[in-house]
Structure 1
């Protein structure tokens, strides 16, 4: 199982589990007060529309990581300070957005880890389009619901399950 949150690094996990892990391309900004986070993956696929993201973060996170494929859109934010706070309050370990977020300064004060491609002040649409619980692929990595994601200051790893040997 995962060592205490301060007892592992992605570099050490990679070294101990090489061949078992995928390494995401280093394209993500690291936001949020939680710089290191890990947990089982929950997935959402949307494009410039965030009601599914809002609904997921309002549910009990139970230490999971919400991975959102936003199609790499840099035109609107899929997560802002209110959704990040909702995720933290509901026990989500982190949020990875293949797209933008907003309210960066406030998110940096919230006890949740956030990774994203960038920031924009523009909000998303509110139509509720998208899919949840589907396999995703971006940044050179496959994200399957139930797989494990590890993120720290060096990057993001994805493994089929919990890792040992850090």
Structure 2
């Protein structure tokens, strides 16, 4: 599916006004080899521990996008090149990280969409702490599992239902 978030918003203006289509605040940097991506949302809520990230990306993505609420931490990375490769291999469309990634140059070569706040060379701890498949909020938007996300060079758009 080819799309532009600006066109999606133009075509769904009434939904943008009633809140069923929401725009995430512009805070994310582009990483990964896929400049635009979309899919159904799967969520994680973690803090400086990427154990659940590995677990989720190790499962079949089937066109979904993993949205990770990392609490906005800038003290370590939640995704690196090995996890990005795992996500690509398991058919995830992309990853949105409210936190940091590492191995940015290597991730740029992987056919996976990645957005994150920034990069950090330190890997996270691994204690298996976090939650899956629950609503998470950042950037002025609540992301719910099963909703849809559309990401391109203009930004991130979240919708209750698929947008045409």
| Coarse TM-score class (shorter-chain normalised) | over 0.9
- Counterparts of 1:130-141 in structure 2 under 5 Å? 130-141=130-141
String of CA shifts for 1:71-121, please: whole Å, max 9, x gaps: 000000000000001000100000000000000000000000000000000
SS of the aligned residue for 2:99 comes to: strand
* Counterpart residue number, 1:17: 12
**Structure 2 CA distance, aligned partners of 1:104 and 1:79?**
10
Q: CA deviation at 1:21?
A: 1.1
**Structure 2 CA distance, aligned partners of 1:136 and 1:52?**
15
Segments of 4+ moved more than 6 angstroms: none
Unaligned runs of 5+ in 1: none
* Counterpart residue number, 2:96: 96
**Structure 2 CA distance, aligned partners of 1:17 and 1:84?**
32
**Structure 1 CA distance, aligned partners of 2:30 and 2:81?**
15
- Counterparts of 1:2-13 in structure 2 under 5 Å? 4=1, 7-13=2-8
- Counterparts of 1:36-47 in structure 2 under 5 Å? 36-47=36-47
**Structure 2 CA distance, aligned partners of 1:152 and 1:158?**
12
String of CA shifts for 1:6-38, please: whole Å, max 9, x gaps: x31000001111223100010000110100000
Whether 1:33 and 2:28 are equivalent positions in the alignment is no
Q: CA deviation at 1:161?
A: 1.3
* Counterpart residue number, 1:58: 58
**Structure 2 CA distance, aligned partners of 1:17 and 1:56?**
31
**Structure 1 CA distance, aligned partners of 2:153 and 2:62?**
23
Q: CA deviation at 1:51?
A: 0.6
SS of the aligned residue for 2:43 comes to: strand
Bigger mean CA deviation after superposition, 17-26 or 63-72? 17-26
* Counterpart residue number, 1:120: 120
**Structure 1 CA distance, aligned partners of 2:3 and 2:71?**
31
**Structure 2 CA distance, aligned partners of 1:25 and 1:127?**
31
**Structure 1 CA distance, aligned partners of 2:84 and 2:104?**
10
* Counterpart residue number, 1:151: 151
Unaligned runs of 5+ in 2: none
TM, length-normalised to structure 2 = 0.96
Equivalent residue pairs, number = 159
